[in-house]
Amino acid sequence: MIHPFSRIQQFLSHIFLLPEEPIIFQELFVDKNPNYKEGLWDYWHLDGAFVALEYTDELKTELEAYKYYSKQEKKNILLPKLLECFELFCLENVDRDAIITTVPLHFFSRLKRGYNHSELLAKGIAKQGGNTFKDLLRKSRLTKHQAKLGRSERLRNVRNSFSFRKKYLTTIKGKDIILVDDVISTGSTANECAGLLRKNGAKRVFGLFLATSEHT
């Protein structure tokens, strides 16, 4: 739980542009894929789940500002850690011509926030890594907030909530795809997206995440 003072400080810094203390992130740099695959086996579609950071209260505060308070500049402190994870895992395990994509937001969510926070991170990775970014997926159904649901509820909540943009069928055929998102917890959302990408011709799908809220 985030301390109430942290929320007040976040609000005041947003309104009055107060100076913020530098954030020290707790690094993980781990592939969580074996943990997820052990539980779902044939129903698990990711070939790797690479995670950069622990989901600490400090990181949660920064992410909330980035996602919900229109502080796009937060990307500049988050992207370097994600890029470090990309260089550590993806350059070694993934084809050099891999396509980078992201978990999409529903139209109404994107309209409310003004941008897709994960898409900005994905485009930053693609630009600095020399890869191509493609917006391969669409969020076709508005869902409940995943953080408020249990594991089985999360799986049901995201089932059939995404669709593939058919104009990219030829583009992704036989290609490695790197799916970028901010946080992975149970893996329900990433797994749903990965299954859809593989169904439409992707050779392998790897997840690249800024943080995990639980790990083993």
3-state secondary structure 163-193: EECHHHHHHHCCCEEEEEEEEECCCHHHHHH
Report pTM.
0.86
Mean pLDDT over all residues of the chain?
88
What are the tens digits of pLDDT across the range 12-35? 555 555 555 667 899 999 999 999
121 and 180 Cβ atoms separated by less than 8 Å: yes
Q: Percent of the chain scored above 70 by pLDDT?
A: 83
**Dist. CA 155–CA 122, nearest whole Å:** 24
Task: Count CB neighbours of 65 within 10 A.
Answer: 19
Mean pLDDT of 129-142: 93
Please identify, in words, the CATH class of the domain defined by 4-212: alpha beta
Q: Order of strands, edge to edge, in the sheet holding 176-184? A: 27-31, 48-54, 204-212, 176-184, 99-102, 132-133
Q: What is the identity of the amino acid at 1?
A: M
Range of weakest confidence among 9-13, 118-122, 184-188: 9-13
**Dist. CA 61–CA 212, nearest whole Å:** 14
- Whole-Å CA distances, 192 to 81, 114, 197: 25, 24, 9
Mean pLDDT of 187-207: 96
Q: Return the DSSP state at 130.
A: T
Burial pattern 136-173, b for ≥16 Cβ within 10 A else e, equals bbebeeebeeeeebeeeebbebbeebbebbeebeeebe
Q: What is the pLDDT of residue 216?
A: 40
Q: Quick check: 163 pLDDT over 90?
A: yes
Mean pLDDT of 65-73: 94
| Domain spans in the chain, listed from the N-terminal domain onward | 4-212
DSSP per-residue letters across 21-55: PPP---EEEEE-HHHHHHHHGGG---SEEEEEEE-
- Whole-Å CA distances, 102 to 6, 21, 115, 139, 181: 29, 30, 13, 11, 6
Q: What is the pLDDT of residue 164?
A: 98
Query: Bridge-partner residues for 164, per DSSP?
Result: 137
Mean pLDDT of 93-116: 95
